[in-house]
Every structure is written in C-alpha cells, then in structure tokens.
Amino acid sequence: GRPLIERAYNIHPDLGFIVETLAVEGLEGIEAIRVEVGVPIRPMLAERLNSAKAIIAKLGNKVVAAEYKLDGERLQIHKRKEGVTLFSRRLEVITHNYPDVLELVAKNVASREAILEAEVVAINEDTGEYLPFQELMHRRRKYGVAEAMKQYPVALNFFDLLSADRKDYTNFPYGKRRAKLESVVKETERTRPVPALRTADPEEIEKFMEDAIANGCEGLVVKYLDGVYRAGAREFSWVKLKREYRSELTDTIDLVIVGAFHGRGRRAGTYGTYLLAAHDDKKANFPTVSKIGTGFTDEDLQKLPRLLKNYESRVKPPNVESNLVPDVWFRPHLVIETIASEITLSPIHPAGMGRIRKESGLALRFPKFTGKIRNDKKPEDATTVDEIVEMYNLQLKKVERVAQ
C-alpha cells in the first residue's frame, strides 16, 4: 500500500486528508484519490547531467524533447469556473502577486478547467526580451502590486499540462501531454508553449542550448517522451542541461551601432533595440555580437536616432557582417559603452565565429547600455573580436579557479 499512499499524498499533499481517507475508506479510498483542480500537486523535478551526449545515452538514445529552461519562477496554474489560483514551487498560494497572469490565463487557455505548469518571466515590454530573475523578484511583494505589475511586466511559457476538463493527464506519456498543452494554450506575445525541439542528435541539442542562452534562458530541460508525470519525484525522465559556469564580466565593452529595430509599446515611433558589432581588425570589418534594448533613458532614445541619421544605409554596409536583418542599417560610426553579465557562445552572431566552437560565434548575455556614448572613439577603436574571445576564455578560467 505504500506506493499508493505516496502517490495519493503527492497529488493531494494534505496529510490530514490522507490519514482520514485511509481510516474511513482504507486503501480503496486512497486509490480513488485523483488530481483535483484547486488542490496543488507536488511538482516533478529534474535530474542534471552536463552534456547532451550523456543525456541522450541516459534516455536510451531515443528522440527526446529539448525545451528552453527559463530564468523565471515556476508556477502551477489551476483554472476553474471560480477563477485562477497560482501556486509556487513550494505550493504556496501566490495568486495576489500576479494579477496580470490571471488575465493571461483566462484569455489564452482554452480549457474551462485545467492544471498547467508554466515559467513566468519578466520581460522588457518595449523589446520583448527576457530579463534576469532578479527583475522578476520585484513582483513578490505584499504591497504596491499594481505598480510592480506596470514596471515589471511578465510572459508565461507553459511546459506541462496535468489536467484538462476533469481529465487527469498525469499518467499520459509526455508526448501526449505536450500535444494537449499545445492545443489549449493560445500563442500570443505574452503566452506560449515553451520552445521545444525533438531530436536524438546531441549536436542539435547543443545548438539549441546556445539558442536558448542567446534568448536569455539558463539552458535546457530534456524530456523522455514516454515518461509519465511523477508528482513529487526527481528522476531521469527530465534532465537539466545547464552550463557548468556562470561568471560576471567586470569590464565594459565598447561596441559600434550597425542597425536598429523599431520600438513598440512606450518606444513606438523610435528605435527600441540596436544591433551592435565589435571590430575585427584582421578582416577589417564589423561582425555583430549583440542586440541591446536595456539601459536607455527616454532622452537617449530621442538623441540616438538624431546622432545616427547621417549614417543610415538602405542596404547592409559592405564592412558589416550580420545574420540578423534590422529595420534600419547604419554605416559603422557611433560607438557606445556597454556592460553584460557574461559572454556566451551564439548560433546567431558572427563575431569570433569558429574560434571557440565550430559554427558558433560569441554574444553578450543581458547587455546593458551604461549611458556613455564614446565620441572619443572611431569605430576602429571599438572592442576587437580578439578581445572578446580573450574575455570569454578568461571568464572560463575564473570559473575553473572558483570551482577548485
């Protein structure tokens, strides 16, 4: 009877209720306990391995689902006629922290009753970019919730469905749960099923990992498609793939503006995000290394288009190397100072392409404008690709030292 009691507790974690059911109805009563909307379920947890190859081997060399692992807060969302309740990973009710999430769920989840899991992430509303976890923590306050909601808007990335319209999905294989999830969650700017890739190829997973990190994520969770949802268990049907290092960059990086993307929200009518390049002194060109939309004051947003006006180009300048196509190109001229949390491998940006890993360039993670326009620097005086490669290598050494 022990496995039955454990499962009952994991899907209905109220000890008093379990003991009473056992006393009155015996094991039959325990077996009859079902997932119930409004009663939190103990979350399933992931194991961790440090390479895609090891994960594929552990999961039986089969096709798996690799999904973005976001830098946010895990929510268990219970939707029913009476409204929406949000539980934290520790099963606390945190509904009052996220009034906007309630509205997003009501509008974009098709089932009348459902239990879903999602990662809530802070976003920059003007650029759509994800922000670090610290920004989201401003939402966990008792007072000033409406103000925090305006200042720190959020997006929902749904990653599992445990129940829909009174049907328990926890014993369905993950592939089926994901299909159901995709059928009930409407994809909008603020809600979506978490990006996923199905493959059995470790190299494809490593590439997808770079993609995830370039999009502000921590890494990936790789899932066994035949695995059921084991409430309260940590097991190898979900495996986290995270980078083994994380370090803060202390140096500023001077980069050249080579493109811009139109803004939205408060930045409508001006540029919301800029495309930045380093200087490759060997090739005498400017390969991109980052997009940037954070750190700009309203005054900066007014001033920069004026400073760049004379350098606009209808086509990509011949000395700019980019896989992204901005709304407007600029001939390399204006240099700005930036800071970033670290330098990561990138499948998108060509700066340092192939220098660290085949078919990968380098990019800045969580870049931010310091407020300083470097009028004293010509574009050729910007931070070089060699310097960025060196920063990446130093950051690895620093982490190895900490690990020892």
Q: How many whole angstroms separate alpha carbon 18 and alpha carbon 238?
A: 28
Cβ neighbours for 322, distance < 8 A, ≥ 6 positions apart: 258, 259, 275, 277, 287, 288, 316, 350
Q: How many whole angstroms separate alpha carbon 284 and alpha carbon 333?
A: 14
From residue 350, give the alpha-carbon distance in Å to each of 34, 187, 290, 335, 346: 52, 30, 10, 19, 8
Which residues are the active-site residues? 69
